[in-house]
Structures are given as structure tokens and as C-alpha cells.
Structure 1
Amino acid sequence: MDKKVEKLEEAYGDVNLSMLADFALTNGISGHEREMAQVYKNWVEEFSDDVSFDNLGSIIAHKEGAANGPKIMFAGHIDEIGFLVKSIDDNGFLRLHPVGGWWPHVLLSQPVTITTRSGQDYVGVVGSKAPHGMAPAVRNKVMELKDLYVDLGVASKDEVRILGIQVGDAITPKADFHVMANPNYLMSKAWDNRIGAAVAAEVIRGLKNESTDAHIYSVGTVQEEVGLRGAKTAAQKINPDIAVTIDTTIATDTPGETNNVKLGVGVTLEVMDASYISHKGLLYHLQDLCDELGIDYQFELLSAGGTDSGEIHKVHDGVITVTVSIPTRYIHSHYGIIHRKDYLDTVKLLTEFARRANAEVLEELRNYKR
């Protein structure tokens, strides 16, 4: 075998692809995360001392620590962007109400899943026009969301009613899970933020049969895409001393971008985003731990967009908080691409941080601000 081909076929490290596919392919737009929360529970329950929920539906898996150990919250949101059925016209076409941020350009001719109150799923497609004879001014314009619709393959509003579809039902992007030509690259829907939730799950899974000083909380938060809501209620319930949010960030290593944030580097430490400024003591602590463990890392600063850290860090008298990101290409669309190294290195770093954290570490971090 050619050495270049052989190298291409060697995936970086050992990734639980079954878990990642289970996380990514489960439907769960903001406000409709119940099924995804159960999937999360299935993967963390045997590694936890107890599992609970807040009243918005965020799932909290807890591993007991020492009596004086710090409480550490690892948070990854389990919701994805999608739509609600806004209206149904006489011909059975569904209009869309966005849940999360969409660029309509990415939606035309894409399949979606409509889920009814009873849990029945139906497949539809976002309608598009053929370009034949289309005026350039029309062809070159991005359509507005209000002009888009879902075609269910029915003939009337009555047929939609018989299916049990009603206004307010969830509409979720429909996609498959792909290991790509270079198997280090994984493509699926909902990496924002099922990959961050998977990291949070792997931290508590990786500490099985180990005793830790820290109380570990592995949290799948809800409704992040519509205002960081579940992060606030979950953090109020836990009252953590330290929090690490794991979320996706925009990879800028594609044509026309600036190449500041790349796939396959390792850990991405977020200095700030539009919702919070990282606790520099914790940021530097994780940077030093990367250096000690031989983990590559990069920094990012976001002028727009926020993460669950934006609400967590303001809970009670303040929480020592940082966001660690997984660079992802093409987020907020039907398909995103991530790199195995970024995922595995992030799991390695945060698991080791959880393993070592104790009362002394907490006091050191607190004193950084005093």
C-alpha cells in the first residue's frame, strides 16, 4: 500500500463512533430535547452516582467527590437548531418558524423530519425552484425564511391533519453520519452541540472506578440555541465552584477564511465570546495542563455568539468558568465536519483536570481574582 494512502486510513486515536452517532442523529431541537436527554442518560448512568433533571429538562449526571472537594460542572448543550410548524396552507405545505439561527441559503432542497405530538416522524423536503428561465436577480438572491416551505408529499391540509401534524410541531434537519475519506474527519448533523455534550459525557465515563476529590457534574443543557436557558437553571441547581462549557466554534480553515481556528490542532481554549470573558486563572491552568500533557492547543476570541458560559458564570456569587471549543466546519446547517484529534484531546485534558482538581486548586483559582 502507498504510504500516503496508508497514513490517510489511520484514524487518530480511539473514538466511540457508536456513541457519537447516537448523539448526533437523535432529534432534539431547542425545547424538544427529551429524547436526546434519554440518550445522554443511557451513556452516562452506569458511570454516575445519581442522575437528575432540572425543570427545563437539562440532565445532570453526578459523581461523588470528597467532602471538601470542589463542585465542577462540565456542560454541553444537547439541543440543536431547527424549526416549528408555523402554519399549514390549503395545499398541505408547511411554513417554518426558526428555532436558532439559520442562513436560508443552506436550506433549499434539504430533507427534514417533522415530529408529531404522539412521536410519529414524517420526512419532508424544503421546497426549491428550478433555475431554468429564472432571472439573474432572482437566482442570485438568498431567499428569506418566510418564503420557504416544507413539502410533505401530500395533496391537502386535510391530509396533514390526518397525519397528526399541527402548528408547533418540531421540524428537525435530517442527515446521516459519515466517516470521511480521511477517517479523522467525521460529518453529521447537530455537531453543534452534540459533540460538546459527548465530551461532557466522556469525562464522567472516563473516571469509572476512580475516586476524585472533586464532585463531577456531567450536564447536558437544554435551550442553548434560544438564549442559554438550560445552562442557567442547571447551574442554579448545582451551584458549581468551577464550570467548563464545551461547545463548537466556527472553523476558519476553508477557502475564503482567515485560517485562525483550524480543525485537527487539538484543544481550543476560548478567551472570550459575546456572552462572557473567561476566568484567566482557569484558562491559564488548562493551558499549563496542556503543556504538561503534551496536548496541542490554540486560542480563539469571538466577537459574536455566546456559549453556556454566558449564563453559568453569573450564577449566585459567580462561577469560575471557561469555554473549551471543538472547531466545526459548516455549523448551523444540515452537515458539519469535525476532527477526531480535537475531540479526543479535549476529552483527555478535561478528564485529567477533573482527576486532579481539589480544594487547593479551587483556592488557587479563587485567589487569582483577589
Structure 2
Amino acid sequence: MSKNDIEVAYGDVNLEMLEELTLTDGISGHEKEVAKVFTKWVKDSVDEIQYDQLGSVISIKKGEEDGPKIMLAGHIDEIGFLIKDIDDNGFLRIHPVGGWWGHVLPSQAVTVKNRKGDEFVGVIGSQAPHGMKPEVRNKVMGIEDLFVDLGVSNKEELKKLGIQIGDTVTPRSEFNVLANPNFLLSKAWDDRIGAAIVMDVMRNLKDVTTQATVYGVGTVQEEVGLRGAKTAAQMINPDIAIALDVTIATDSPKMDNRVKMGVGLTLEVMDGSYIGHKGLLYYLQDLAEEIDVDYQFELLSAGGTDSGEMHKVHDGVITLTLSIPARYIHSHRGIIHRKDYADTVKVLTEFCTRLDRDLYNELVNYKR
């Protein structure tokens, strides 16, 4: 197969924005720099930018005064670590922030940042397999057994560099367009791709008159308990909320091929934190068919998304999660597909332009 036989890149996707967004470091509780990137790309398309007290960034496109309020949320935090101890030889012991499987960590590069913002490259230590006993070789190392090597001689060198307990340790990776240009590799797709969808919808609505007021939100601290979604939703008090998040693509070897990359829109029926509003799900299903977007359904028995907190605000919110299938999430490098991204942006942009008080009342009455 020649290069000319490969698929062409699908849709209008701003790779510069995606690269900047994914490669900016921001583990849970330390999302400030990512929020700045979010703001940079949407500020010229919206009427106002606000923040909640946890740091979630809220971009607002105003609609009619009596129109419904819709909240689109993608979380901007990523998983990582905090330094929990430093030994006399200058090796760092780490505490996980978010869910990690120890198997994916040895020999991976990380970025350590001190309180002044100085960055240092390190590597998570690993053993050579030579002479290793089978029971050791086959064991997945726990986080408590791992350490970061910054290439220093002792603890005093780290002190001079301003590195201390509580400093952040973030996965270090690169952004790549793969052999088929629709497959994009980077760190932090969970959930910078969801945040990017929110950003692109807000950018698409720049010169569009909407009856609904649209709140495009980059939420914080999702990986440690959906915390930013709760505070931002309390602040907004939306009528409708849609979370954008990754899900596990099951189209790689030894998986069930149920949730595929490159289909288009993925409608999440439920996950471990919420049950999707069927009226909204069916409406978006029909809308996708109308505007010629392919779709698939997903159902997760465990795990949660920002929908888990948004749907419980005040007297309840019409809520749904739209998923972006991804491979190898919660590691240093994941893969997403351009079609899933671009088609989700297309459906949401159209939905925001159509949402008015009558449609909202129709969705409300679905439950009555």
C-alpha cells in the first residue's frame, strides 16, 4: 500500500489547538495553565469568561433573556502524581492523582514542576530484566514501589532546585499525526479532546444568533471525583448539560469490538455515575441521522463522567454524556480519531443553534 492509498484527513480540525491543549501540563488541582489555553482559543468567540472558585473556566455565549441555558463540559485536568517523599539520594517517591495501572509507568518520562514553575525532566525508574526471577518479572509494580529519577546526586541538589514535597509530576509525551492522518497520538486526551470539542462549538457559534445561552466549560478535578463539574454547574444552574469525555475504544486486539473509533457520534446510555436522559439521547440520535452523522451507543457499568454531578444540581438537570472512543487512556500516550471529534462538534453546534424554550419544554415533558 502506498501513502496515496491512505485515507485523507477527515473534517476541519485545528491541530495547532489540539497540540497546545494536550501538551500543556495540568494534573487535577493544577489546571491553571490549561485554563489559559482554553481561554486563548475561545475568548474572541464568546461574550464573557468566568471562573468558579476551584478554577473551572466558563465561557459564555449569551442568547435571549428567556431562553434555556445549556452547559457543555469537558474536563481539563489530567492524571499524574505529586511528590510525597524525597530520599537522601535524590529519588522521588510519588503519590497518584487519578487512576494509574503500574504496568504502564516504568521507564516513562515525566515533567516535575516546582512552585516557581521551573520544569525538570525525569524518568520513572525501572529494573533491567537480566537475572530477574519469573515471579518478579511477571508482577505488576505498585505505585508505592516506583520512583522518579531526575538525574541528581543527592537530596541537597533537589533542595537547591526548589523541588519539594507536593510538587507536580506530569506525564511527558509528544503530539503526533499517525500513519493514517485520522489517528492522532498525544498525552491527556482524557479529557482535553472533550474540552477541545467544547472550545470548537463555542468558536463555531461566534457569529450565530442563538435563543439559548451556551456555557462552554473546562471543568477541573474530574479525575479525583467530578469536583469542578459540581461547582461549575451550581454556579450556572443549567437547564441542559452535556458532558464530553473519552471512553475506552474496544476495537484493538483481544477486546470485544463493541465501541469503535472513527464511527462518529457516541451516545452514552449510562455509566456508573448517571443514567442518561432518554429524551435528549433520542433527540440527538435523530439529529445525527438528519444531518448525516453516523453514531453508536455505549453503556458503561463502572466509571463516571462530569454528568454524574451535573445532573443532580438543584432540582435536576437534563443531562447526557457524549463519548469519544480512545485507545490507551490513563497512560502517557493515547490515540483518538478525527471523525469522532469533528462529527461530535458538528452535532453539538447544530443542537445549540436549534435549542429554544419549546424544545426544552419538549424534553422536560418526556419525563412527565
Interval containing the TM-score (normalised by the shorter chain): over 0.9
Structure-1-length-normalised TM-score: 0.99
Deviations 1:277-325 (A, max 9, x none): 0000000010010010110000000111100000000000000000000
Match of 2:138 among 122, 133, 140: 140
Aligned equivalents of 1:110 and 1:204: distance in 2? 35
Aligned equivalents of 1:178 and 1:204: distance in 2? 25
Match of 1:150 among 134, 148, 151: 148
For residues 202-241 of structure 1, the aligned pairs below 5 Å read: 202-241=200-239
Aligned equivalents of 2:188 and 2:3: distance in 1? 30
Aligned equivalents of 1:122 and 1:280: distance in 2? 48
Match of 2:300 in 1: 302
For residues 265-284 of structure 1, the aligned pairs below 5 Å read: 265-284=263-282
Aligned equivalents of 1:134 and 1:151: distance in 2? 21
SS at match of 1:29: coil
Match of 1:18 in 2: 16
Deviations 1:119-175 (A, max 9, x none): 000000000000000011100110111000000000100001111010000100000
For residues 70-219 of structure 1, the aligned pairs below 5 Å read: 70-219=68-217
Aligned equivalents of 2:79 and 2:169: distance in 1? 9
SS at match of 2:165: coil
Letter in structure 1 aligned against 2:15: L
Aligned equivalents of 1:303 and 1:156: distance in 2? 47
Match of 2:258 in 1: 260
How much does 1:9 deviate?
5.0
Percent sequence identity over matched residues?
Answer: 66
Letter in structure 2 aligned against 1:141: K
Deviations 1:92-122 (A, max 9, x none): 0000100000000000000000011000000
Match of 1:57 in 2: 55
The number of aligned residues is 368
Match of 1:367 in 2: 365
Match of 1:333 among 331, 334, 341: 331
Aligned equivalents of 1:22 and 1:5: distance in 2? 27
Match of 1:349 in 2: 347
Aligned equivalents of 1:200 and 1:219: distance in 2? 7
Aligned equivalents of 1:96 and 1:355: distance in 2? 46
> Gaps spanning 5+ residues in structure 1: where?
none
Letter in structure 1 aligned against 2:138: N
How much does 1:6 deviate?
2.0
For residues 12-51 of structure 1, the aligned pairs below 5 Å read: 12-51=10-49
Letter in structure 1 aligned against 2:278: K
Aligned equivalents of 1:355 and 1:166: distance in 2? 49
SS at match of 2:139: coil
Match of 1:248 in 2: 246
Letter in structure 1 aligned against 2:277: H
Letter in structure 1 aligned against 2:122: G
How much does 1:67 deviate?
1.5
Aligned equivalents of 1:187 and 1:172: distance in 2? 17
SS at match of 1:12: coil
How much does 1:209 deviate?
1.0
Letter in structure 2 aligned against 1:246: L
Cα-Cα RMSD: 0.7
How much does 1:68 deviate?
1.5
SS at match of 2:116: coil
